[in-house]
């Protein structure tokens, strides 16, 4: 098993390769140097060799899978997330779509995932979607504890993962009926979903058969599960100096100095509409933007979108602090990592409050999209439990 591709560090990549010759990292990401196009073909050769050797076996009976995670949240509380793994029919995004995005994507990851999908036509890792289901499937999920699991293990973070296989037609139809009203909101996996759409268009144009019209998806009821959304903090690199940034923050948003270690206490205690902490070397400033600042910058966009701190940062605060400069961003859920990046030379860091799952659903339903990397659902849906080939 391994995490999804976009949260794997170079160090973790090496450790996972060393751990097992059959680790899913060899399909999901692999080792590569910049410009190493052969890594995609190596993934295909690895997958084919695992099938031939019996390392992987295709289930003969069509079915769904129920996937459960039990874990300790950052605040120490015990949580669980349980949902269904299955093939979700691809739809173009739009007002009438049953699948909705909530944040913007970047070209680089989509190009990488499309090259991999062309070489290896397999859904290697599931995307993660949420919906408002009022707990309708909860009794059935809980009853599955009396059945044997297809997989059960704990990972390095102490998260217990369990998987059940479901093949009874009546149970499959029950799950479909529960999910059918939708909409489903993509919580994690926007790049993979858009990549799957691009691949589907290519395959249709080429007249290729196969199951490229759907994508493997982990679907969770946001009304009943202990979803944890961590803040997606930023490190920012611009040409301006830190002293210039600090002066602009004080002038534009009455920023005041705080202790960097107290950042989240300060964010929790702030009465402002949009508090955020800027890390500038050894100094940290609490900046507070208002709803009026956001409205002035964006106009009368949807209220559910305008009320988000990450929107306030990108639409109202950064333009007034860095001007017309085009910032470079690095993203992390870990405030310590952001502070380390600033110490290593990034101009400044920004620490944000976490989003609520309901906020994400509301924004998606409004038709708006958040800035890239706006939410970090944790734990991630692990890679390696199931693979979904798109060809026979």
| Residue whose C-alpha is closest to residue 224's, from 132, 122, 147, 148 | 132
Find out whether 27 and 385 touch, Cβ atoms under 8 Å. no
| C-alpha to C-alpha distance for 246 and 235, rounded to whole angstroms | 15
Q: Report how far apart the first and last C-alpha atoms of the chain are (Å, whole number).
A: 24
pLDDT, residue 168, reads: 97
pLDDT single digits (tens) 303-331: 999 999 999 999 999 999 998 888 999 99
Tokens of 122: 């397999």
pLDDT, residue 94, reads: 84
pLDDT bracket for residue 362 (50, 70, 90): confident
| C-alpha to C-alpha distance for 268 and 169, rounded to whole angstroms | 48
Q: How many degrees, rounded to 5, is the angle at CA 355 between CA 294 and CA 335?
A: 95
Tokens of 291: 């709803």
Find out whether 86 and 173 touch, Cβ atoms under 8 Å. no
Residue whose structure tokens are 């919580």: 187
Pairing assessment for the beta strands 388-389 and 127-131 based on DSSP bridges: unpaired
pLDDT, residue 38, reads: 87
pLDDT at 34 over 70: no
Find out whether 378 and 384 touch, Cβ atoms under 8 Å. no
Taking CA atoms, 192 is separated from 1, 109, 186, in Å, by: 19, 8, 10
pLDDT, residue 32, reads: 66
pTM of the model: 0.86
Tokens of 96: 């009438």
| Residues sharing a CB contact under 8 Å with residue 162, sequence separation 6 or more, in sequence order | 67, 68, 70, 149, 151, 152
Find out whether 270 and 288 touch, Cβ atoms under 8 Å. yes
| Residue whose C-alpha is closest to residue 294's, from 268, 319, 325, 331 | 319
Q: Averaged over 42-61, what is the pLDDT?
A: 95
Least confident of 107-111, 215-219, 245-249: 107-111
User: What does the DSSP assignment read for 143-181?
Assistant: HGGGS--SEEEE-TT--EEEEEEE--HHHHHHHHHHHTT
% residues pLDDT > 70 (the chain) = 98
Q: Averaged over 215-237, what is the pLDDT?
A: 93
Tokens of 170: 């009546």
pLDDT bracket for residue 35 (50, 70, 90): low
Q: Averaged over 348-374, what is the pLDDT?
A: 88
Find out whether 219 and 181 touch, Cβ atoms under 8 Å. no
Q: Averaged over 44-62, what is the pLDDT?
A: 95
| Residue whose C-alpha is closest to residue 138's, from 228, 71, 220, 224 | 224
Q: Which residue has the higher pLDDT, 367 or 122?
A: 122
pLDDT, residue 383, reads: 96
pLDDT single digits (tens) 136-171: 999 999 999 999 999 999 998 999 999 999 999 999
% residues pLDDT > 90 (the chain) = 75
| b/e map 87-123, b = 16+ CB within 10 Å | bbebbeeeeeeebbbbbebeeebbebbbbbbebbbbb
pLDDT, residue 373, reads: 83
């Amino acid at each position: 098993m391994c995490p999804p591709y976009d949260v794997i560090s170079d160090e973790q990549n090496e450790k996972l390769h060393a751990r097992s010759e059959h680790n899913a990292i060899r399909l999901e990401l692999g080792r590569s140097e910049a410009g190493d196009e052969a890594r995609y073909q190596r993934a295909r050769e690895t997958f084919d060799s695992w099938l031939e050797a019996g390392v992987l076996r295709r289930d003969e009976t069509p079915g769904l899978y129920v996937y459960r995670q039990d874990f300790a949240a950052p605040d120490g509380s015990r949580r669980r997330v349980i949902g269904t793994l299955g093939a979700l029919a691809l739809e173009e995004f739009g007002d009438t779509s049953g699948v909705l995005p909530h944040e913007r994507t970047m070209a680089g990851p989509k190009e990488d995932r499309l090259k991999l999908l062309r070489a290896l036509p397999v859904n290697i890792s599931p995307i993660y979607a949420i919906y408002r289901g009022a707990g309708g499937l909860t009794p059935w999920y809980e009853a599955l504890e009396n059945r044997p699991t297809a997989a059960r293990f704990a990972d390095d973070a102490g998260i217990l993962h369990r998987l059940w296989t479901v093949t009874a037609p009546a149970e499959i139809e029950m799950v479909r009926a529960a999910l059918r009203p939708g909409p489903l909101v993509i919580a994690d996996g926007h790049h993979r979903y858009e990549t799957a759409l691009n691949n589907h268009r290519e395959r249709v144009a080429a007249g290729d058969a196969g199951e490229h019209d759907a994508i493997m998806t982990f679907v969770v009821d946001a009304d009943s599960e202990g979803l944890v959304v961590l803040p997606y903090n930023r490190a920012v690199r611009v040409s301006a100096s830190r002293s210039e940034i600090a002066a602009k923050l004080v002038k534009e948003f009455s920023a005041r100095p705080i202790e960097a270690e107290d950042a989240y206490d300060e964010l929790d205690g702030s009465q402002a509409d949009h508090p955020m902490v800027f890390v500038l070397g050894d100094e940290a400033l609490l900046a507070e933007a208002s709803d009026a600042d956001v409205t002035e910058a964006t106009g009368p966009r949807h209220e559910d979108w305008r009320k988000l701190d990450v929107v306030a940062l990108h639409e109202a605060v950064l333009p007034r602090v860095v001007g017309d400069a085009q910032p470079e961003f690095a993203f992390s859920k870990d405030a310590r990592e952001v502070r380390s990046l600033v110490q290593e030379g990034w101009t400044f860091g920004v620490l944000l409050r976490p989003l609520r799952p309901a906020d994400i659903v509301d924004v998606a339903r409004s038709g708006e999209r958040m800035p890239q990397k706006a939410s970090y659902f944790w734990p991630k849906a692990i890679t390696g439990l199931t693979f979904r080939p798109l060809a026979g």
